[in-house]
């Protein structure tokens, strides 16, 4: 998860550029590449997003994907890999949460929870310690108000989240790259100037719902590493 936001200007574990190639195949790691490689991780995630996006667009709700990244490989840098899953196309007669559950009809370790504004997918037993951080107040800049990626960074950098990371010895991968930030404009989706009295988990829900997208949270099993990213649902 080197580059964490699926936008037109970024690549990495939260990449959406391979979704067309994977439109009609389940997520299966090719033999030529190691299962824990970044390339396979990107394909795993892209194939899920390829099926998930149209369901969410039709339903009108945002998405959350929390996943157990398994054993993070010992590399020169931290990487959170998206797991290999057997994801199937949605059935024609299913919508919303039911349709998303159907994507995982061959998976036993996936739980789908449909809320009023977001549908959450939990893959495996996920360490969510950091998500319980209680944020008293975050004051957002105009760029953070109007851009999901920047809002996520503001949440990550809040004093309460940083303190909880220190308490549990957690860290995030180093990131590089950039994204195109939308200029503040009347009528565009945006967050309020301040977020108050909410957990990190609730803040991620708020960001996903506001920007009609998918917030992804992945945590490693064998290392105190987690990562967060955003993928747009796109337009109908």
Where are the alpha helices (H) located in the chain, listed in sequence order? 38-59, 96-103, 142-146, 148-156, 159-168, 200-210
CA dihedral over 224, 15, 84, 67, signed as positive or negative: positive
List, for residues 79-108, the tens digit of each pLDDT value.
899 999 999 999 999 999 999 999 999 999
- Counting residues of the chain whose pLDDT is more than 70, the rounded percentage is 80
List, for residues 201-233, the tens digit of each pLDDT value.
999 999 999 999 999 999 998 889 999 999 999
Q: pLDDT at residue 48 above 80? A: yes
pLDDT greater at residue 74 or residue 64: 64
Q: pLDDT at residue 3 above 50? A: no
Mean predicted confidence (pLDDT) in 60-82: 85
What local confidence, expressed as pLDDT, does residue 183 receive? 84
The domain limits of the chain are 5-232
Rounded to two decimals, the pTM is: 0.83
Per-residue tokens: 66 = 């929390």
d(CA 116, CA 228): 22
Angle of the 148-156 helix axis to the 200-210 helix axis, nearest 10: 170
pLDDT band at residue 181, thresholds of 50, 70 and 90? confident
Contact 50, 19 (CB under 8 A): yes
List, for residues 16-31, the tens digit of each pLDDT value.
333 333 344 444 444 4
Q: pLDDT at residue 10 above 50? A: no
Ramachandran angles phi, psi of 182, nearest 5°: -75, 140
Q: pLDDT at residue 12 above 60? A: no
Quote the mean pLDDT of the chain. 85
What local confidence, expressed as pLDDT, does residue 75 receive? 56
């Amino acid at each position: 998860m080197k580059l964490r936001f699926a936008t037109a200007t970024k690549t990495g574990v939260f990449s959406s550029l391979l979704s067309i190639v994977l439109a009609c195949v389940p997520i299966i790691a090719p033999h030529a590449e190691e299962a824990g490689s970044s390339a396979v991780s990107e394909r795993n995630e892209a194939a899920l997003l390829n099926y998930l996006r149209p369901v969410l667009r039709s339903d009108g709700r945002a998405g959350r994907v929390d996943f157990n990244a398994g054993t993070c490989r010992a590399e020169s840098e931290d990487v959170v890999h998206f797991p290999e899953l057997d994801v199937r196309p949605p059935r024609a007669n299913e919508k919303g949460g039911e349709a998303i559950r159907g994507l995982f009809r061959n998976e036993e370790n996936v739980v789908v929870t449909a809320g009023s504004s977001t549908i959450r997918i939990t893959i495996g037993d996920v360490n969510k310690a950091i998500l319980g951080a209680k944020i008293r107040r975050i004051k957002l800049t105009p760029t953070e108000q109007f851009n999901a990626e920047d809002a996520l960074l503001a949440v990550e950098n809040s004093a309460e989240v940083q303190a909880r990371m220190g308490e549990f010895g957690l860290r995030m991968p180093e990131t590089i790259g950039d994204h195109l930030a939308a200029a503040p404009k009347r009528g565009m989706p945006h967050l309020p100037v301040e977020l108050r009295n909410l957990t990190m988990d609730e803040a991620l829900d708020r960001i996903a719902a506001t920007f009609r997208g998918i917030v992804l949270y992945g945590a490693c099993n064998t290392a105190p590493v987690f990562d967060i990213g955003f993928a747009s649902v796109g337009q109908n």
